[in-house]
Structure 1
Amino acid sequence: MPPTHQHVHEQLTGNAHDRSGHRRRDQAWLDARWNDETTRVLVVAGSRVAPADQTVGWLSPAQAPDGIRVLLGEHDGRADFAVLTDQSYAGDDWVGLRGLFPALLADSTDATLVFHAIGLAEWHRATRFCARCGQSVHPAAAGHELVCDQGHQTFPRTDPAVIMLITDGEPGAEDERCLLGHHARWPEGRFSTLAGFCEPGESLEDAVRREVGEETGVVVGEVTYFGNQPWPLPASLMLGFTGRAVATEIECDLEEIAHARWFTRAELRTETASGAIVLPGGVSISRSLVEAWYGAPLPGSW
């Protein structure tokens, strides 16, 4: 059964795994769990993983290659680890996070574990030197810290990003419209909600108004929180909002948004059904925002 506007982000936020953070410095416990026959290991090569039977390919510790060993957590007495290794280890059929969306959407049991592992893999790839002294860093705390020889600690970062569906007109009315944009680098016909990063000293609501104004010229008034979603590509937390337009004239910046349009529900239904426009996949909070406004699933996806 296809996902509905019961929001896929709930699959990623309502089924959190036990991260066992208190065990990350307990080397004896980590060694014992690594040698336990029930333990599972997810290998992340660069930022790609091996697919297996419409899900992700877990291995036993004995099957895992050398690499940075990361504790993901425990579930029902079973430990889950990731091993982060070089991207050259990946086979031709290995896929990145976007390639896993169909499997994660069909079965969200492993979704938070995969997001956790890939988020840490992206951080380890990007963080090679201490930001304070410039020395090389090495992993600690079961892969959740990086430490240089001077003892300076570096922790994973998460960048807050807003993603928003802006609407115009009487809520629920036949002529109510939503605003979608086409990024300058996307293939023709691909549309999505607008998004952008929160800047220092800025509230999330103001970030919504600023980003929409900068990218499309549309002026936003009321902003309402919708939900959130981890997005380790490479290190974001997507914070979803809806907003009401108070001025609807579009003037795109042309650098990020090449084209933006207002859609009624009827137009959105017709054009997604014909393939004239294509919306993001169902695991994205963008899709949830659109379908929550529309009121039902829509056809097609990237």
Structure 2
Amino acid sequence: MSEIDLSTQPLTLAQTGVDRAAHHRLDEAWLAAAWSHPTTRVFVVSGGQVLVEEKDGTTELVMVPAFDAPETETHRYFLGIGEDGVRYFALQKDALPGRMDDVARAAGLREVAGLLSPLEAGLMVHAVALENWQRMHRFCSRCGERTVIAAAGHIRRCQACGAEHYPRTDPAVIMLVTDDQDRALLGRQAHWPEGRFSTLAGFVEPGESLEQAVVRETAEEAGVAVGDVTYVASQPWPFPSSLMLGFMARATSPDIQVDGEEIHEARWFSREDLRKGIESGEILPPGGISIAARLMELWYGSPFPAAG
């Protein structure tokens, strides 16, 4: 079995092929020139979905030159510059544009992120996260007046009180907890499909360190006390606006007492337990684009076996 190495196999949603070039976001002249450049490429995002097309065994974002893009006045987001100098923009629309062919289809991030190139997956993650924030934060949290888009989609300004609001990202810890027998603690939520087990996770609270959040969430959800906590990697998770911070942690006791609210069931799994469960179809591991799956594979030592 080949070992998993996140340094050479980066997390799907943490990849990028562009320079975000944030210093250009307030330069209206530069943005106008970039928009009108013949090599610039644009795609539409709506409700967390984009248009993709499959051809020759690959899945690609449907991107067009700026002069072929749907008309828009304010909902234009500059995403960055590719290594080849191509500028990329996303347009937020109320609906995806229609196509004259039956090749293109609407798709969400969970469905296609693992199929897109690293560049296109990174562009989609960026656009989906911005679109959700823009739709959910149209009014000023200081005075309640409507805000306007600025900085190529990365700021909302209040013209009434002058406040500036920036895209929200909620930090959340996600942890693969092991015991002194090197078994993995996995839990399941009641609304998940039957057999689905995954790592524990939870949001970081105000005034709390990441390591403290790992200890607290593991105790709250599964009643398991944790000692050593080691950071592994992070991944954006725009469902709708989280940053998942991955950890390995060591339990100081194997005793489990689930909270019955967030976690319906929790169990210790040996590698053999997990292998047999997945191969028999009794255990459903988390999806391939999630950091949960990669943390479990790091512990397991290879990609998950195929279900029988």
Q: TM-score, normalised by structure 2?
A: 0.89
Q: Using the TM superposition, give the Cα deviation of residue 70 of structure 1 relative to its aligned residue in structure 2, in angstroms.
A: 0.4
Q: Does 1:116 align with 2:126?
A: yes
The equivalent residue for 2:88 is 80
The equivalent residue for 2:265 is 259
Give per-residue Cα distances to partners, 1:76-126, cap 9 Å, x unaligned: 21100010111475899412211123314xx32322211111110110011
5+ long unaligned stretches in structure 1: 171-175
- What secondary structure sits across from 1:200 in the alignment? coil
Determine what percentage of the aligned residue pairs are the same residue. 49
Mapping 1:24-173, distance limit 5 Å: 24-53=25-54, 54-67=59-72, 68-75=75-82, 76-87=84-95, 93-104=105-116, 107-150=117-160, 151-170=162-181
Separation (CA, whole Å) in 1 of partners of 2:66 and 2:292: 37
Q: Using the TM superposition, give the Cα deviation of residue 210 of structure 1 relative to its aligned residue in structure 2, in angstroms.
A: 0.6
- What secondary structure sits across from 2:233 in the alignment? strand
- Counterpart AA for 1:20: A
- Counterpart AA for 2:153: G
The equivalent residue for 2:227 is 221
Q: Using the TM superposition, give the Cα deviation of residue 268 of structure 1 relative to its aligned residue in structure 2, in angstroms.
A: 0.6
The equivalent residue for 2:188 is 182
Give per-residue Cα distances to partners, 1:115-149, cap 9 Å, x unaligned: 11111011001101000010001101111100122
The equivalent residue for 1:273 is 279
Point out the more displaced range, 80-89 or 159-168.
Answer: 80-89
Q: Using the TM superposition, give the Cα deviation of residue 35 of structure 1 relative to its aligned residue in structure 2, in angstroms.
A: 1.3
* Alignment check: 8 A CA contact 2:15 2:119 kept: no
Q: Using the TM superposition, give the Cα deviation of residue 259 of structure 1 relative to its aligned residue in structure 2, in angstroms.
A: 0.8
- What secondary structure sits across from 1:70 in the alignment? strand
Separation (CA, whole Å) in 2 of partners of 1:42 and 1:139: 19
- Counterpart AA for 1:168: D
Separation (CA, whole Å) in 2 of partners of 1:4 and 1:24: 41
Separation (CA, whole Å) in 2 of partners of 1:145 and 1:293: 40
- Counterpart AA for 1:65: P
Separation (CA, whole Å) in 2 of partners of 1:234 and 1:9: 22
The equivalent residue for 1:5 is 4
Separation (CA, whole Å) in 1 of partners of 2:108 and 2:186: 26
Count, aligned residues:
293
Q: Using the TM superposition, give the Cα deviation of residue 13 of structure 1 relative to its aligned residue in structure 2, in angstroms.
A: 3.9
Q: Does 1:250 align with 2:253?
A: no
Point out the more displaced range, 56-65 or 75-84.
Answer: 56-65
- What secondary structure sits across from 2:114 in the alignment? helix
| Cα distance change of structure 1 residues 55 and 280 upon mapping to structure 2, 3 Å threshold | farther
Separation (CA, whole Å) in 2 of partners of 1:44 and 1:88: 7
5+ long unaligned stretches in structure 2: none
Q: Using the TM superposition, give the Cα deviation of residue 36 of structure 1 relative to its aligned residue in structure 2, in angstroms.
A: 1.4
Separation (CA, whole Å) in 2 of partners of 1:4 and 1:135: 53
Separation (CA, whole Å) in 2 of partners of 1:287 and 1:189: 15
Separation (CA, whole Å) in 2 of partners of 1:89 and 1:4: 43
- Counterpart AA for 2:80: G
Give per-residue Cα distances to partners, 1:17-36, cap 9 Å, x unaligned: 21111111211211111111
Mapping 1:282-301, distance limit 5 Å: 282-299=288-305
